[in-house]
Amino acid sequence: MLQLIYTSEAKNNFSPGELQNLLLTARRNNDRDAITGMLLYEDGTFLQVLEGENEVIESTYQRIAADKRHHKIMLIARFEIDHRSFHDWEMGFFDASGGKLLQLPGYSNFLSKKTVELENLEDGDKAREVLLNFKLGAWHRHSSPLHAANPHHSSTHNEF
């Protein structure tokens, strides 16, 4: 099984409706392909972790890399895993725009970096740390409930 973490920049900022459509499509595809993971979005920058069978994750990443809505796609880390970190999440999501995650343990300025050294495992570890802290609920101390990502719930308040 493979866990892949990448970052990219949107060519144009996504509106809340566009983000919701992206997420709904991702969840439908991920459910079909048995992919789990997490997607963070901050002011035009995406950070995503994908987990699943190696061939499925590789083909999904290639499809994402070909998507014309974003560019500057950087593979941060690729881990062979024995079990999933996001096993119940077809695609957890959080819109971190406006600095909502600045106080999250492990956040640092990772999402605001414009370039990432692919050989720098520290960046891969940092991405994993941010995502796992988010999954474990560290954001509860720093964000209102309206901004909390519930992978199985939908509303009109940046919560998908």
Is the distance from CB of 82 to CB of 4 less than 8 angstroms? no
Is the distance from CB of 114 to CB of 45 less than 8 angstroms? no
Q: Which single residue is written with the structure tokens 């957890």? A: 92
Q: Name the residue type at position 122.
A: E
Is the distance from CB of 93 to CB of 151 less than 8 angstroms? yes
Decide if 155 is inside a domain: no
Decide if 38 is inside a domain: yes
Looking at residue 39, which CATH number applies to its domain? Answer: 3.30.70.100
Decide if 74 is inside a domain: yes
Per-residue pLDDT of the chain (160 residues; tens, 9 = 90+): 999 999 898 999 888 888 889 888 988 999 999 999 888 887 888 888 999 999 999 999 999 999 999 898 988 888 898 988 888 777 777 666 665 545 554 444 444 444 444 344 455 565 566 666 655 655 444 433 333 333 333 322 222 2
The whole-number pLDDT of residue 150 equals 36
The whole-number pLDDT of residue 47 equals 85
The whole-number pLDDT of residue 141 equals 44
Decide if 69 is inside a domain: yes
Q: From CA 66, how far away is CA 151, in angstroms rounded?
A: 25
Is the distance from CB of 50 to CB of 61 less than 8 angstroms? yes
DSSP state of 137: T
The whole-number pLDDT of residue 118 equals 37
Phi, psi (degrees; rounded to nearest 5) at 42: -140, 110
Decide if 156 is inside a domain: no
The whole-number pLDDT of residue 89 equals 76
What domain range is 61 assigned to? 2-147
Q: For the chain, what is the domain count?
A: 1
Q: Which single residue is written with the structure tokens 């077809």? A: 90
Going from the C-alpha of 138 to that of each of 118, 154, 160, the distances in angstroms are: 27, 21, 18
Q: From CA 49, how far away is CA 91, in angstroms rounded?
A: 9
